[in-house]
């Protein structure tokens, strides 16, 4: 008996949602289990996917505290428990975070010169110097940090900078200082400062330190004697011009006092290497003294340049008077000339008043000359040369200069103004 042929199945067919790929000739297994019929269709719950579009992030299994990494737990605990202000300041300095450091100091001013936590007992400035952080040093000094406040072991910020600091802190790698330290002198002279016992040196120390010039070179000069001398020879109250409103030394006058006092100090036979005899190591002491010697040479070089410029200004006085300050009617503009000499050149007040009197007398003597009695050589000279000769003749006749004598007498009543005579005679 011939078997009845079975109908051929399609190559792709569906059985309860099962898809057979083309080419699969094996018949699929058919599930003959009867379907489960829900007796209460109205209560059927349709299961929906939690995230049908796949947009939600998969939820991670909860991690217990015991399984959390130790370092992460330590950092979390540190963030949750705020540190003390001094510890926060220490952390900010070590991290080089200037903004956080300044914010903490603004809020807790007592921290600026305090001893920070830790076995070394460092002040904020000592720590910044220890790290060689020039930016942090500048920020702390600007905020008013005491540059000589030592750490618990007695070492100062400068000592830490010498042993551990960046070589850039010594000033020798600063092109501005190496090429033109006279800029520092001019900047210091422009700073109006008063009695040192009132703490008004903050701006000066910040200025000098920020320019990487050693403060130890200026410290013996900027003292009470400097202030007392400036108050006598830079008073500027005896004229009728706009300078009357100053009644204090001009920056040019302070510059002249500064360069003379600085030159006398660093060239004194009693001066010694500024970093000898301190608690520095031998290597640090040698390095810091080398820095000081290099900066001394640079300062003396530009002091000489400033002196030459002052001499050129004074030499030009007769010509300047004729071209600018003497009218056609031979009248001298005293007020403007005085302002020029004190505010631009730095002539001390007694010297400037003596110069005005000298020029006035020289003009008077020239006016009294009889043209017929003059020698041919003198007659052929220009007015500038005639004025110069007349001024020299009067100076040779002067036995005393009353303006200078009065300043020296006033100095005798001020025990702090020891340098007035020397300054006047140097000029």
83-113 pLDDT, tens per residue? 789 999 999 999 999 999 999 999 999 999 9
Domain range summary for the chain, segments of one domain joined by +: 81-169, 175-426
pTM assigned to the model:
0.57
- Name residues of the chain where pLDDT drops below 50: 1, 7-26, 28-30, 37-46, 60-68, 70-82, 166-178, 195-200, 240-246
Q: Tell me how many degrees the CA angle 353-357-358 measures, rounded to the nearest 5.
A: 115
What pLDDT is recorded for position 292? 77
What pLDDT is recorded for position 71? 43
H or E element at residue 15: strand 14-15
| Cα dihedral value 155, 156, 158, 159, nearest 10 | -10
Do residues 222 and 259 touch, judged by C-beta distance below 8 A?
no
Residues facing residue 332 across a β-bridge: 326
Reported as half-sphere exposure (CB side, CA atoms, 13 A), residue 301 has a value of 12
β-strands 14-15, 18-19 pairing: antiparallel
What pLDDT is recorded for position 161? 66
| Cα dihedral value 122, 125, 128, 130, nearest 10 | -50
Do residues 346 and 252 touch, judged by C-beta distance below 8 A?
yes
What pLDDT is recorded for position 13? 38
User: What secondary structure letter does DSSP report for 276?
Assistant: T
What pLDDT is recorded for position 5? 53
What pLDDT is recorded for position 215? 65
What pLDDT is recorded for position 268? 84
What pLDDT is recorded for position 351? 95
Do residues 101 and 138 touch, judged by C-beta distance below 8 A?
no
Task: Express each pLDDT in 348-381 by its tens digit.
Answer: 999 999 999 999 999 999 988 887 788 888 888 9
Q: And the tokens for 406? A: 């009065």
H or E element at residue 90: helix 85-95
DSSP for 202-236 reads: HHHHHHHHHTT--HHHHTTTSSHHHHHHHHHHT--
Domain 81-169 fold: 1.25.40
Q: And the tokens for 94? A: 């070590």
Q: Can you tell me the distance from the alpha carbon of 413 to that of 231, in angstroms, rounded to the nearest whole number?
A: 13
């Amino acid at each position: 008996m011939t078997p009845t042929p079975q109908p051929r199945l399609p190559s792709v067919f569906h059985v309860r949602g099962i898809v057979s790929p083309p080419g699969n000739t094996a018949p699929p297994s058919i599930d003959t289990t009867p379907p489960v019929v829900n007796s209460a269709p109205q209560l059927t719950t349709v299961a929906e996917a939690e995230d049908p579009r796949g947009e939600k992030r998969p939820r991670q299994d909860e991690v217990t505290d015991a399984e959390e990494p130790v370092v992460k737990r330590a950092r979390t605990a540190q963030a949750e428990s705020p540190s003390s202000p001094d510890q926060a300041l220490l952390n900010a300095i070590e991290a080089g975070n200037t903004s956080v450091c300044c914010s903490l100091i603004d809020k807790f001013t007592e921290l600026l010169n305090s001893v920070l936590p830790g076995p070394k007992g460092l002040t904020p400035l000592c720590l910044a110097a220890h790290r060689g952080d020039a930016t942090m040093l500048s920020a702390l000094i600007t905020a008013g940090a005491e540059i000589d406040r030592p750490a618990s072991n007695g070492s100062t910020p400068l000592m830490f900078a010498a042993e551990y600091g960046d070589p850039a802190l010594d000033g020798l790698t600063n092109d501005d200082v190496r090429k033109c330290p006279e800029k520092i002198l001019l900047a210091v002279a422009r700073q109006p400062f008063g009695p040192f016992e009132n703490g008004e040196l903050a701006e000066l120390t910040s200025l000098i330190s920020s320019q990487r010039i050693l403060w130890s070179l200026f410290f013996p000069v900027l003292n009470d004697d400097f202030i007392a001398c400036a108050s006598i020879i830079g008073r500027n109250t005896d004229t009728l011009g706009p300078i009357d409103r100053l009644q204090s030394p001009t920056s040019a006058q302070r510059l002249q006092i500064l360069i003379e006092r600085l030159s006398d100090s660093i060239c004194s036979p009693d001066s010694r290497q500024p970093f000898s005899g301190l608690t520095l190591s031998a290597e640090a002491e040698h390095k810091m003294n080398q820095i000081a010697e290099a900066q001394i040479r640079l300062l003396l070089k530009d002091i000489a340049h400033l002196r030459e410029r002052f001499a050129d200004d004074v030499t030009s006085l007769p010509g300047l008077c004729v071209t600018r300050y003497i009218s056609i009617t031979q009248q001298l503009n005293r007020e403007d000339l005085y302002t020029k000499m004190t505010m631009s050149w730095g002539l001390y007040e007694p010297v400037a008043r003596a110069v005005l009197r000298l020029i006035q007398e020289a003009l008077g003597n020239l006016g009294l000359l009889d043209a017929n009695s003059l020698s041919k050589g003198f007659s052929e000279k220009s007015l500038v040369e005639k004025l110069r000769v007349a001024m020299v003749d009067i100076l040779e006749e002067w036995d005393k200069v009353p303006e200078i004598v009065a300043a020296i007498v006033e100095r005798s009543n001020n025990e702090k103004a020891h340098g007035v005579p020397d300054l006047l005679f140097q000029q």
